[in-house]
Amino acid sequence: MKSIVACILLATALVCHAQEAGSHYAKIDKIKASIQETPVFAFRGPDDQRVESRRWLQIDAELELATNEPSGIVPQLDAQWFVVIKDAATDKSVKLTGTVIYKDVRATMIKVPDGKKHATPTSKVLRLSAYVSPDTLQKITWKPSIKESDIEAVALVISGPSVSGKPENLQKASAQQETQWWNKDLNPVKEGAVIAKSKTPFAALWTDLYPTDEMPSKS
């Protein structure tokens, strides 16, 4: 009898510890690539320099994110982005990669014990984005203006402190997901070519839609 009681107490303690430590569960639902022109802003002061807008690759993903944090805020999500595009110089596919860190991410679902106070989620879908610059795209494709058809595939892998989920839910590709091509060697690889929204002219846009992001500091 004592051993049964001890086991129950131990299990209860583990559950309480997990709730206190905070756990977050992620699932990527969709990922897509699109072409976006450099935004044009109205301003006063300097002379207006008319230039033709260039074309960026935007990768956009939709996720579900649950947490047992009563605030509904997940402190950090780490995203590894991948793009495959044809290299004009070699006529072979090249893999572009980049890591983006998202801070204070709003969860789409809050799971806390019954009766415990918690915030109300403001959205049912979490969206993340990343970009590839026009210069990077032109250096690879030799095209000053690319099309969506030039992009062979994009993929996203999610991780982060106390972030868990089924392996298949934490990774998503726009094509050939079953091959997990993002985990395979594909030369050449251009690391850091996929960048955070905050490093682009889109930084000031859609601030209520996407979480704050940053690039990892270089060691």
Q: Write the secondary structure of 122-136 as one string of H (helix), E (strand) and C (coil).
A: CCCCEEEEEEECHHH
Which residues span the domain enclosing 165? 22-37+53-214
Asked if the structure places residue 166 within a domain, the reply is yes
- pTM (2 decimals)? 0.85
What are the tokens at 67? 């947490």
Asked if the structure places residue 124 within a domain, the reply is yes
Burial pattern 133-146, b for ≥16 Cβ within 10 A else e, equals bbebbbebbeeeeb
Question: How distant, in Å, are the alpha carbons of 104, 119, 124, 206, 207 from that of 31?
Answer: 21, 28, 16, 18, 20
Can you tell me whether residue 110 is helix, strand or coil?
A: strand
- pLDDT at site 82: 97
- pLDDT at site 185: 79
Asked if the structure places residue 125 within a domain, the reply is yes
Asked if the structure places residue 7 within a domain, the reply is no
Which residues of the chain, if any, have pLDDT below 70?
1-22, 219
Quick check: bond before 39 cis, omega within 30? no
Asked if the structure places residue 6 within a domain, the reply is no
Cα 108 from Cα 63, distance rounded (Å):
9
- pLDDT at site 219: 61
Q: Which of 168, 28, 184 is nearest to 93 (CA)?
A: 184
- pLDDT at site 47: 74
Count of CA atoms in the C-beta half-sphere (13 A) of 72: 16
- pLDDT at site 117: 80
Asked if the structure places residue 8 within a domain, the reply is no
What are the tokens at 216? 């990892």
- pLDDT at site 48: 72
Tell me how many domains the chain contains. 1
- pLDDT at site 13: 33
Asked if the structure places residue 146 within a domain, the reply is yes
Asked if the structure places residue 28 within a domain, the reply is yes
